[in-house]
Structure 1
Amino acid sequence: MAIRIKSRWWNENNERSLPEMSGALAYIAWRLAVDKAIHLHCERFIYRDDHQRLAVIQEYLIFFIQVADRLAYRNLDDVARRELIVGIARKLVEHLQDNSEDVFGPGDYGSPFFALLNTRSEEYAEFQLTDDGPSYPFLRHLGFEIQQLMGNAEENRWVIDQVMDQDGFDAYERFAKAFDDLFA
């Protein structure tokens, strides 16, 4: 099921602040991550429970933060880029916290996400994003991390291929287009 992503401002003549851009990009990233997690299920990959599903969503969120950082590098100075990326991460934690509390009850869901984000950011730093999109190692890392979460049960053993060959690049294209539209 394809979701509609709104990536144009209602009144395009108004100047937008970086916090507004961060909020919009975080919302788009959240929707795309949830959509990709649902799509894996539609492709007959099996989630053990909601914790596993949310972990997959978090891997996609981290992927989108990495993509946003590289896209921002092309368009913004270092101070603005940092403000944008930190704003996206904070807004994503708000989405994650709200949705996790709805499913799992009260708790701190943001701190573990930030710790994972810091770890993954170091890992993703080795990979390139070109004008054609994420490099093969960039997508492979996303697929590998999701494979680790999903396990090697018979029904999930090809999830890395699904993510690398289809879902990861599609997610990148949709997010990058929204990023470009919002900054146009």
Structure 2
Amino acid sequence: MALPLRIKSRWNKDHDHSLDEIAGALAFISWRLAQSKAINLHGEDFVYENDKQRMDVIIEYLIFQLQIMDRLARQELELSDEDRQLLVTAVAKKQGSIIQDNSLDLFGPGDYVQPFFELINQRASEYAEYSYTADGPSYPFLRHLGYEIQQIMGDSQENRWVIDQVMDRDGPEIDRKIAPAMRDLFE
């Protein structure tokens, strides 16, 4: 059973925050959520073969959250197209920086950001076909996340049902945490 993850999404001071500041907070929150869900999969007896596989799962969770942020920015927060693009780009860059730092520690020298950005672009076109409503991501939206994580984890006996875990629990829980956090940061 996963331990509850506390997300701090309220500012301490009463003043407006720039999109860049909000993006930094969202990148940090999304990293913590993605990392928590990757750890949770292991806690639910799904098996990682190596750290690369675990990092790839974290990256899929990050991209999923980026898609949610993009939808919320457009549909609920009603940001202009320019501000929405600036926000999402800034979050992605900050996520990329976190991935780079952690990947350097785990895997040694290399460029880990460019492949992340390429995957964001690929996934953005895939997720674009799925809807996101006031109730959260649609079934196909969640299924796509589950499918991508299933592809990473493989279909060994231990990992056969990872898609169900991701679709039924992890994906909806991520949405339940990232959506209010984003709303709070814009207040």
TM tier, smaller:
over 0.9
1:130 shift after superposition = 0.2
Q: 1:7 aligns with which of 9, 15, 37?
A: 9
Aligned equivalents of 1:117, 1:123: Cα separation in 2? 10
Residues 70-114 of structure 1: per-residue CA shift (max 9 Å, x gap): 000022011110110000000000000000001111110001111
SS at structure 2 position matched to 1:80: helix
Aligned to 1:99: 102
Q: Separation in 2 of the partners of 1:2 and 1:115? A: 32
Partner residue, 1:133 = 136
Question: Which of the residues 166, 169, 179 maps onto 1:166?
Answer: 169
* In structure 1, C-alpha distance between the alignment counterparts of 2:120 and 2:112, rounded to whole Å: 13
Mapped pair 1:30 → 2:24: no
Distance 1:41 1:82 in 2: 34
- RMSD value, Cα: 0.6
1:110 paired residue number: 113
Aligned residues: 183
- Paired with 2:120 and 2:6, the residues of 1 have a C-alpha distance of 27
TM-superposed CA distance for 1:54, in Å, is 0.2
The one-letter code matched in structure 2 to 1:143 is G
Q: CA offsets per residue over residues 30-65 of structure 1, 9 Å max, x none?
A: 000000000000000000000000000000000011
* Structure 1 residue matching 2:105: 3-state secondary structure: helix
Structure 1: distance between partners of 2:43 and 2:175: 19
Where does residue 60 of structure 1 map in the other structure? Answer: 61
1:152 is the counterpart of 2:155: yes
Tell me which of 79, 89, 110 is aligned to 1:86.
89
The alpha carbon displacement at 1:3 in A equals 1.6
Q: Distance in 1 between matches of 2:96 and 2:18?
A: 20
2:11 partner letter: W
Q: Give me the whole-angstrom Cα distance separating, in 2, the residues matched to 1:163 and 1:22.
A: 25
Q: Distance in 1 between matches of 2:183 and 2:142?
A: 20
Select the residue among 67, 76, 80 that pairs with 1:77: 80
How far did 1:177 drift?
Answer: 1.1
Q: Distance in 1 between matches of 2:33 and 2:95?
A: 12
TM-score of the superposition, structure 2-length normalised? 0.97
Q: Percent identity?
A: 57
- The alpha-carbon deviation at position 131 of structure 1 amounts to 0.3
- Measured after TM superposition, the shift of residue 176 of structure 1 is 0.5
Q: In 1, Cα distance between the equivalents of 2:147 and 2:180? A: 25
Matched residue type, 1:146: I
